[in-house]
Amino acid sequence: MIKIDAVEVLDRYKNILWPEIEKHLDLIKNYPTFCQIKPGYQPLLDFHFKMVSDYPKRKGKYLRPTLLMLTAQSLGVDLKNTLLTAESMQISEDWILNHDDIEDQSEQRRGQPALQKIYGNELALNAGDALHLLMWQVLAKNYLILDKNIAQKIEDEFFTMINRTILGQTIEIKWTQENRFDLTEEDILLILESKTGYYTIAGPMRLGAILASANEFQLESIYRFGVLLGRSFQIVDDLLDLTSNFAGQKKQKGNDIYEGKRTIMLIHLLNNASPEDLSKLKEILNKAGTKKSPEEVAWVIRKMEEYKSLDHGRELVKQFATEANIIFDQELTFFNKEPFNSELKLIFDFIITRDH
C-alpha cells in the first residue's frame, strides 16, 4: 500500500480545483456585448485582470477547499457537486487575504510582495472587491446543479461564516489599535474562534456536510470540533511567525510583533514578565510597526523563550488538538467513507505539525 502525506492530498485537490477557478476568473474580463469596452481601452482591462488574478494565481495550500471536498465525499457526495462551493471557498480566502494585507500593511504574501506593495492601497482594495464579487457569482451557480434548498443553505452558511470572520477582524484591529495590555487568553480565543475556528476549519467542513444534507446536530458537532482545531491552527501559525521563515517564503520573523498583533504568546509574556521587562516590552509595543527595530523584535522573541511563552503556546496546541480529536472520534462517526475519512485525519495532523 502506497503511503501518502497531507501535502500530497492538498496538492491533488489544488490540481483538481485550480483549472475551475482559472476558468471562472475569466468572468472578470469577459463582458457581454452590450457593455464591452472599446478596443483602445483593452490595456486597462488587461491591467485590471492581471491585478485581480494575482493572488489566485499565487495559489496557496488550498487547505479550506480541500477540507470541504473531503468532508462532502466522506459523507457520500460526488466530487463534481462540491467544486463550485470549494471554488468559492478558495476565492474567499484570496479576497480576504487581500484586504487583510492592506489593513496590516503586510510586506509579503505567499513569498512575493503583498498586492498593495505593488499597486498601492487603493488599487489593491479594488482588486479584493472584484474577487469578493466573483466569489458570490460562482457560489450562485450552485442553484443550477444542486437542490435549491441545499444551494440556499450553502449561501446562508457562507454569509454567516464570513460575517463572523469580519467581526473577528474588527475586534482584532480595534484591540491592536488601542494597544491593549489587559487582554486575557479568553479574549484571544474569541478572535481565534471568529477568524480561524469557523472560517478555516468548521466553515469548510460544515459546507461539505451541508452538501450531504447533514442535520443540525451533526453541523453543531462539526462547529465545536472546528473551533478547537482552529485554535491549534492559529497558535501554530503565530508560533511559526516567531520561529520560522515559512520554508523560505518570509524574509523576517516576528511580523506579528511589528504589527502589534495580540497573540496567545504575547498575552502570556505580558502577564508573566518582570516589572523591568514588562516596562521595556510596553515601550516596544507602543511604537508604530515601522519604528520597531529588528533588535527590539528579536528581544521580544527571546523573552518569549525565557518566560516559556512559546512553550505555553505549544502546550495549548496539543491540548486543543486532543480535545478536538475526542469530538471527532466520539461524535463525528458519520464521516465513514474511505479514503476520504483517512485523508481528513492526515490534514488534521498536518495542521498541528506543519513547519510553514
Q: What is the pLDDT along the chain (356 residues), one digit of tens a residue?
A: 456 799 999 999 999 999 999 999 999 999 999 999 999 999 999 999 999 999 999 999 999 999 999 999 999 999 999 999 999 999 999 999 999 999 988 888 998 999 999 999 999 999 999 999 999 999 999 999 999 999 999 999 999 999 999 999 999 999 988 989 999 999 999 999 988 999 999 999 999 999 999 999 999 999 999 999 999 999 999 999 998 765 555 556 888 899 888 999 999 999 999 999 999 999 999 988 788 899 999 999 999 999 999 999 999 999 999 999 999 999 999 999 999 999 999 999 999 998 77
Report the DSSP beta bridge partners of residue 109: 112
Helix 121-140 and helix 83-104: axis angle, to 10°?
Answer: 160
Tell whether 290 is covered by a domain: yes
Question: Is 76 a member of any domain?
Answer: yes
Residue 117 lies in a domain: yes
DSSP class of residue 37?
A: P
- Distance between CA atoms of 72 and 165, rounded to whole angstroms? 22
Cα 219 to Cα 33: distance, rounded to the nearest angstrom: 44
Taking CA atoms, 184 is separated from 119, 175, 267, 268, in Å, by 38, 12, 7, 9
**Signed CA dihedral, 164, 165, 170, 171: sign only:** positive
Cα separation, 176 vs 156, whole angstroms: 30
Domain count for the chain, please give it: 1
Beta bridge partners of 112: 109
How many other C-beta atoms can be found within 10 angstroms of the C-beta atom of residue 250? 16
pTM, rounded to two decimals? 0.93
Torsion of CA 113, 114, 115, 116, to 10 degrees: -110
The Cα 320–Cα 322 span in angstroms is: 5
Residue 294 lies in a domain: yes
The answer to whether position 1 is within a domain reads no
Residue 171 belongs to a domain: yes
Q: Which of 155, 142, 154 is nearest to 80 (CA)?
A: 142
> Would 338 be classed as within a structural domain?
yes
CATH number of residue 239's parent domain: 1.10.600.10
Per the listing, cell 487581500 goes with 98
By the 10 Å C-beta count (0-12 exposed, 13-18 middle, 19+ buried), 131 is classed as buried
The x, y and z cell numbers of residue 42, run together, are: 483593452
DSSP character string of 318-329: HHHHHHHHHHHH
> Which structural domain range is residue 269 located in?
6-353
